Each structure stands twice: as structure tokens, then as C-alpha cells.
Structure 1
Amino acid sequence: MSTLPVDGYQLEGISPRAFEHPADRAATAALATIPGLDQVVRKLIELGYERALRAAYLGSSVRLGPDQLGDTWNLHNQVFKTLDIDQVPELYITQMPFANASTIGSGKPIVVVNSELVRLLGRAERRAVLAHEAGHVLADHVMYHTALVILIRLGSSLPIIAGLPVMAVRRALMEWYRAAELSCDRAAALATRDPEAVCRTLMVLAAGAEADQLDLGQFMAQAQDFESGGSGLEKLSRMFLDLNMTHPLPVRRAQQLMAWVQSGDYDRIVDGDYMKRGEEPPARAEAGEAAAHYADRFRSAFREAGDAVGSATDQLADWLRKDRGGDGGGE
């Protein structure tokens, strides 16, 4: 497996469908079935909320360039070139006490990194974050994500837009964005040729400590335990915890990424065998696949939880029978 960045390495014409996570495909198809959703998104932008959001970022941030954190700016340009994206967004850094990055702007996107992220991450990890954001641009995630950021900031102050309840739209966009994050972790692995750097980044973001203080092997073992361990009820609890967040939990993201790498798809794409833009198959059946994906997801979680409850009930019944039997024998 190739893991080191290569000078001149470029995934020429790569389609975002080449690395799209199945959950992303299903969630995107599900969004397409919501009547009026695009109208709501466009209305948010027309009302000036995007301009206000952009102004808030630009007014409290510093634009990077060759003479402003030049190494980070160079990494930003490199990953866009690797993913064969001609238009490179402007890059900004803003003072924030938590590590994060974001891409906003439906027409002309900008990438914003928080100062804590730059402080915590080494060069390879910064490259991974910037490649993740480039994945969002390539996959055309930015318009929906901008709408989601606006809705989160507005809270419940706008209950209805264009006839659709805002909170329901926000929940739908959050489900989609969690899935989109999994696709962009793959994009980061491909652009950097370093899946472990992506996992180290997730570990650092989860811990808030520099990578040299942490052990990646133990973090990956934790990720595997989180994904496969626990009872049915614990898995159901994890699923509902996930539903209330804009990003999947870091340990799950690491597990999902490495499972994809181990499937062989990562090596195949790095070796040049991938779908290119313009070669994407028609998406007619994806709405049905989306419904099946979410039905299976919830059905499986509830079935496992039901099995766990049933097992616990049987154990309790056995204990009560034994207890009653013991009492009866002593009378």
C-alpha cells in the first residue's frame, strides 16, 4: 500500500463518486426526495444569510498566502492540485480555542481553519485536513453545508421557510453531512496517500493533544471496539448519539476509513483505476437504495436492541423463578 505523498502525483479528472461512501450516496439521494429542499437552501442564500456568514468569517480571520503561514498555504494548493481542482478557494485562519476547519460559500467557497488546529497538527495532519476540505469542494457539498451552518446559527428563530419546517430541514441536512464527512475522509487519504495521517488527525481532534503524545495503534483498537463491541442496546445508543451531531464520532470515522482502505479500493484508485468526471452512471435507482439503506440501518439497530432486551428479560425471569423456588423450598 502506498502511503507517502509523491511529487507530481495527481488523480486526474477523478469523480467524487469514485470515493463516495455508501451512506453519503444514500443520504444525498434521500435529500433529493424532500420537496422544496433546494428552494429552502436558495432562499437562505437569497435572504443574505450567506453574506452575513461570510462577513463574520472574513472580518475575524486572516487570509493566508505565500507570506502568511506559507507552508500551510502551500499544502492547501497542493491538495487541490492533487484532486485536479482548477479553482483553489482562498484560505483563512481564525482564532478559535478548538481544532476545526470548514468550507463555506455556495458560489465562491472559502476554507477556514481554526488556529488551534494549526497549533496541534503536524505537517502531514494539516495536509490531511486541507485535503478533506478539498474533497468537500470536489463533491459539491458546499451549498448544502453552508445552508446547514446558517440553520445551526439561526436555531429556532426561523420555524418555517418556503413552507418547510426549518428544524426538519436541519435534521435532514445533518444526516447528509455526517455521511459526506465519511466520503471526504476518503478523499483526504487519497490526496495525501497517507490514510494513517487521516486517522492520526482524527485522534488528535478527539483528544486535543499533539500526536506525539498519543498512540495510534491503541486509538485504532478503540475504534474497532467502538464499532463492533457492546450489546444491542449500546449500539442503538451510539446510533442515536450520532443523530444529534453534525460530524460522525472520530473513532467511527477512523474505523470506517481503514475498513475502506483494507477493502482494496484505496490501492486501486491510487494506482489509477477510478471513475472520472463525466463517467458517472445515472442515479435513477438511488432514491430506492437510500430508503433501503436507512431502513436496514434502523431495523438492524432495533433488532439487536430487541434481542438484548429479550435476553435480559429471560435472565431476569430465570432469576425470579430460582428466587421463588428457593423461597418455596424453605417454607
Structure 2
Amino acid sequence: MTSSDAPVKGYQLKDISPRAWQHPADRAATAALASVPYLDKVVRMLIQLGYERALRQASLGASVRLGEQQLPDVWSDHVFAYSTLDIASTPPLYVMQTPEPNAFAIGAKNPIVVVQSELLQLLDAPQRRAVFAHEAAHILADHQLYRTALLILLRLTAAARMPLPLMPVRTALLEWYRATELSCDRAAALVTRDPLAVCRTLMSITAGTMVDELDLDAFMTQSMDYAERGNGIERLTRLLLDLGLTHPLPVRRTRELMLWVRSGEFDRIVGGDYVKRDDPVSVRAESGEAVSFYSDRFKDAFRDAGETIGQGGQQLADWLRKAKDDIGS
């Protein structure tokens, strides 16, 4: 599918449930949040103390509200996402001048979406639709309470040293946030009906320059190389690096999305076969898939790392012996 095949007006995934596109990592991380002591209490306290209100006001005060009279094409791309996902109301959209290409939603009950100016400079219309669909999916999936709390904690970290008791909360929310990004990439592909547009969006944001000259096929190959090559130590290092980020690495997001597309799930949902919002939840089936994902992700990495260390043990011993001899001579 090409960008010119973007959905026509009226294409709608009627009553679709966020569970239809939920990534196993998202399902597992969401379940894991329930085991974090006092998490909900801390999150709601951050909201009640006025941090959310201050964050919202800071964003509103440094941005321009878009609409039918203000960048109407961009506003139309934004509205399109909510119509396609069958979301009753469209949140306000603001653009803020900043050199970082990003977009985010603020607000647990009444969200607003903020798009940063550099994003609009980099992306064409199909890619803008992918970004707005991604944010709409977060809102439909009711991610906003935890997402807003994480934004507050990240701002607190940047402004001052975070109190030690909040660090585990921040870590848990970061792991969950990264997992939700994988789900919402899938939703963006469904809204645009063009998974490659989502991949191109990730490539453009990652490069940040000369996007018209970038080769998507080369980037797709890079994503497969990143995920599949390397010894255990390299894979473990990538895992530990991932744990410190707000978003999964772009090449990983690309690979995860395309694996899902190739599984047939994308075509099935576009064809109208998907979970509805009122459908019963099979907790056992969904939790089993999620546990399997995390088990493979962590256990394989550490096991392979141990095998790599064992294989290199003699070389390491020889190197240490030589270093000792050099020092003694």
C-alpha cells in the first residue's frame, strides 16, 4: 500500500477496542503496574497536588491552538484519527515551537494534544496522520493518567533531584510507557492503513534531516539487523539501554510493527474482524501471551550473556595473565 491509498473519509473501525492492537509487552507491563506498592496513590497525589494543572498551563502558554482557521490541514489530520478510531470527541490540538520532533497528550480526564513544530517541519501528511493516530490510541486506551504522571516525574527529574521513594515509580512507569508505544504504533498503522507510513515516520523522526532522501528499505533492513545480530553481551547491553529510555528504540519499534503485520493481524483487523469494546476479556489467554513475551525477553538475554562470557572465559584469563606479566616485567 502506498501513501496515495490512505483511507477515504468515512473509513472507521467502529467500536474497536484497544485490546485489538495491544502488544504483549503492553499487556504484561500494564498488569505489572498493579503489583507496584502505592503506585495509584502516588500517581493520583501528583495530579491532586496541581502538577498536572501546572504542566497543562505551561504547555498552553507557549503554544498556538489549531483548528479550522489555524493550520486547517494539520487539524484535519488530527480529527481524522479520532473519527477512524470511533472516538466521540476530538481533544484540542496545540503546536509549540521546539527543535525536537515530538507529540504528546497531557491530561488524565480532559486531554489535550501538543505537537512540536519540528515534527510538522519534518513530516508529510501521511506521516502526520500516523503521529496523530498514535496519540489518539493512547487516549482511547486510557493511558493518560499514568502518562501524565510520568511526564510530571520526568519534569521533576529535570528540575531537581527526585526524592528516592519516587525512583521505583518512575522506573515502573517508564517500562510501561515504552510498552504502550509498541501498541500505539499498531494503531497508527490501522488508522492510516499503511504500516510503511508508520515506519517512514519513525525513520524521519530518528534521522531528523534530509528525510526526502532517506531510503526506507535500508532502514527496514537496519531494523532487522539490530534485532537479530550480535552475541549475548550485545543483546544484554541493548536491553539495559532500552530500560533507561522513554521510548523503545526506533529500529526496534519498526521491527515489532512489521512482525505484527506479517502475522496477519493487521489485515484481519482492517477487514473488520477485531475485538469490540464490550466484548468479554479472556484474562487467561491474554496474560499467558504477555508472560511469555517478558519471559523470553529477559531470560534469553541473560542466558545468552552467560554463554558468551563462558565461551570467552579462556581468552579473558589469557589477557589478564598477559597484563599481569607486562606489569611485572
State which of 58, 61, 64 in structure 2 corresponds to 1:59.
Answer: 61
Using the alignment, how far apart are the partners of 2:319 and 2:61 within structure 1?
Answer: 65
Which residue is 2:74 aligned to?
72
Deviation at 1:35, TM superposition (A): 2.6
* Matched position secondary structure for 1:113: strand
* Matched position secondary structure for 1:111: strand
* Matched position secondary structure for 2:86: coil
User: For residues 318 and 105 of structure 1, do their structure 2 counterparts lie closer, same or farther at Cα, with a shift above 3 Å needed?
Assistant: same
Which residue is 1:328 aligned to?
none
The unaligned stretches of length 5 or more in structure 2 are 323-329
Using the alignment, how far apart are the partners of 2:282 and 2:221 within structure 1?
Answer: 39
Task: Name segments (4+ residues, structure 1) moved above 6 Å.
Answer: 284-289, 317-321
Which residue is 1:159 aligned to?
163
* More divergent stretch after superposition (4-13 vs 252-261): 4-13
TM-score (norm 1): 0.91
For the Cα contact (< 8 Å) 1:61–1:92, is it kept in 2? Answer: yes
Which residue is 1:5 aligned to?
6
Deviation at 1:294, TM superposition (A): 3.4
Deviation at 1:264, TM superposition (A): 0.4
For the Cα contact (< 8 Å) 2:82–2:90, is it kept in 1? Answer: yes
* Matched position secondary structure for 2:283: coil
Which residue is 2:199 aligned to?
199
Using the alignment, how far apart are the partners of 2:194 and 2:292 within structure 1?
Answer: 33
User: In percent, how many aligned pairs have the same letter?
Assistant: 60
User: For residues 286 and 95 of structure 1, do their structure 2 counterparts lie closer, same or farther at Cα, with a shift above 3 Å needed?
Assistant: same
After superposition, what is the alpha-carbon deviation per residue over 1:121-165, rounded to whole angstroms, capped at 9, x for unaligned?
0111111100100110111111100000000111264526xxxx2
* Matched position secondary structure for 2:312: helix
Using the alignment, how far apart are the partners of 1:103 and 1:207 within structure 2?
Answer: 23
Using the alignment, how far apart are the partners of 1:267 and 1:56 within structure 2?
Answer: 41
For the Cα contact (< 8 Å) 2:63–2:95, is it kept in 1? Answer: yes
Deviation at 1:87, TM superposition (A): 1.3
Q: Which amino acid aligns with 2:67?
A: G
User: For residues 108 and 230 of structure 1, do their structure 2 counterparts lie closer, same or farther at Cα, with a shift above 3 Å needed?
Assistant: same
Deviation at 1:308, TM superposition (A): 1.1
Deviation at 1:2, TM superposition (A): 8.8
TM-score (norm 2): 0.91
For the Cα contact (< 8 Å) 1:29–1:286, is it kept in 2? Answer: no
Using the alignment, how far apart are the partners of 2:306 and 2:62 within structure 1?
Answer: 50
Which residue is 1:182 aligned to?
182
Deviation at 1:293, TM superposition (A): 4.3
Q: Which amino acid aligns with 1:251?
A: V
After superposition, what is the alpha-carbon deviation per residue over 1:248-267, rounded to whole angstroms, capped at 9, x for unaligned?
00011001001100110000
Using the alignment, how far apart are the partners of 1:292 and 1:170 within structure 2?
Answer: 24
After superposition, what is the alpha-carbon deviation per residue over 1:169-201, rounded to whole angstroms, capped at 9, x for unaligned?
000000000000000000000001010010000
User: For residues 207 and 21 of structure 1, do their structure 2 counterparts lie closer, same or farther at Cα, with a shift above 3 Å needed?
Assistant: same
Deviation at 1:319, TM superposition (A): 9.6
For the Cα contact (< 8 Å) 1:63–1:93, is it kept in 2? Answer: yes
User: For residues 209 and 246 of structure 1, do their structure 2 counterparts lie closer, same or farther at Cα, with a shift above 3 Å needed?
Assistant: same
Aligned Cα root-mean-square deviation (Å):
2.2
The unaligned stretches of length 5 or more in structure 1 are 324-331
User: For residues 47 and 286 of structure 1, do their structure 2 counterparts lie closer, same or farther at Cα, with a shift above 3 Å needed?
Assistant: farther
For the Cα contact (< 8 Å) 1:132–1:187, is it kept in 2? Answer: yes
* More divergent stretch after superposition (280-289 vs 178-187): 280-289
Which residue is 1:45 aligned to?
47
For the Cα contact (< 8 Å) 1:30–1:290, is it kept in 2? Answer: no
Deviation at 1:271, TM superposition (A): 0.3
State which of 99, 112, 124 in structure 1 corresponds to 2:126.
Answer: 124
For the Cα contact (< 8 Å) 1:30–1:291, is it kept in 2? Answer: no
Which residue is 1:326 aligned to?
none
For the Cα contact (< 8 Å) 1:124–1:197, is it kept in 2? Answer: yes
Deviation at 1:209, TM superposition (A): 1.7
Using the alignment, how far apart are the partners of 1:2 and 1:277 within structure 2?
Answer: 30
For the Cα contact (< 8 Å) 1:2–1:267, is it kept in 2? Answer: no
Deviation at 1:299, TM superposition (A): 1.5
